[in-house]
Structure 1
Amino acid sequence: MSHADPDQLTLVALGEPAADRSTSDHVRGCAACRAELASLREVVALGRESHVELDLPMPSEAVWDRITAEVDRKNTTVVAVPPHRPRRRVRGLLAVAAAAAVIGAASAVVVDRAATSTPVAAEQLLARAQLSRLGTAPGGARGTVRVVRTGDHAVMRVAVDGMPAPQGLYQVWLYDGVDTMIPLGVLTGGEVEVPVPAKVDLTRFKVVDVSAQRLGQQEHGVSVLRGELG
């Protein structure tokens, strides 16, 4: 009793329709061919699992040509299949096709993630400063300042250490060293990141001042830490 062509079973396992009705009719009535088709489908399913490796024979050059044609079938009107390929080569065809499916799925995930993820903007260091204690601060008080540009805006990161909890709050200022001070934000928990106004010239306002403020106090309070950007 003749059985269905192995290549036809291969294509059916890969999701292609049978080449002719006689193949479908034969598979429905032949237990051996149904078992073979089920086995081939299991190989394809395993190949599409990215964590499963298939231990199958390496296909020949002719099979590689067939796989190339199969992968490109959406751009091809007719795919020629040699009519009598040995059965072990059919298994090799399935191994390559399944591997191609895994690679294609992985590539799609990578492309999708690359398309949807937001790139992280590189930071550019604009200036830095060491904050030194003034006479009103405890002996161990100190701090650091970093001004960085991320994207199209600049931020100032201030961190202090050795400062007691204030009666009111600590305020961060930019100072021109003469008579103008610009409030940037409230320092809480020992550190803060505050935006630097776009129109502020850091070569003019290059003194960073941390002051102790009473609650509700609008004017500059008592300076406790100060440093110059450079």
Structure 2
Amino acid sequence: MAHADPELLTLLALGEPAPDESTEDHLRTCTECRSELAALREVTAIGRETRAERDLPMPSERVWAGIAAETGQSAEPAPVIALARPRRRWRAFLAVAAAAAIVGAAGSIAVDRITTPVTTEQVLAKTDLARLTAAPGSARGTASVVRTADRTVLRISVDGMPAPDGLYQVWLFDGTATMIPLGVLTNGQTDMPIPDAIDLRTYPVVDVSAQRLGQQEHGTSMLQGKLS
């Protein structure tokens, strides 16, 4: 099977389900397509953060070529772009990427930094993430709620976890029935902004789940811990 079309990878990154089982099978076995999808999911997740300050990963040349073909612009990636909250349509996502393509010369994409200097950080709560039945014996992790100069984030780090067939998602859980997704965990550690509307007294449990590609509902819990 040929590599997945860049437009299809964009749809999957935005949360759309895979169109058929053959596509899911291909994504489970093709390292290149999985890597591109992971990069696009990271871009999408960062775009949904209202006050993002993180560097964006660089999609592959094949994805840039697909964006250029769709928009009629140069395929050269750009160094800097500020992202707004994306719509759930793939053309809007392509427009964001195309804007990055025409801003300037080659380089890594980065979100414009807020100029307010961060002088101190305050840890508000933390927990060790316990291994659950589905996780390997080596799995472990930590999670902390950290207040910086301009936002509050969930700082999460995991180790001993195998490469997923799909991806790892981080959730806040009320301990009974309701779970709120915070974002995709990549490279084993990240800071995830916590929306102001979320009360951690109501959602004190941090959950790391294994998700299938395109899966919207909660998957299989791998690690979990209660903030204190």
More contact order relative to length (CA 8 Å, sep ≥ 6): 2
Q: Comparing both structures, which one devotes a greater share of its residues to helix?
A: 1
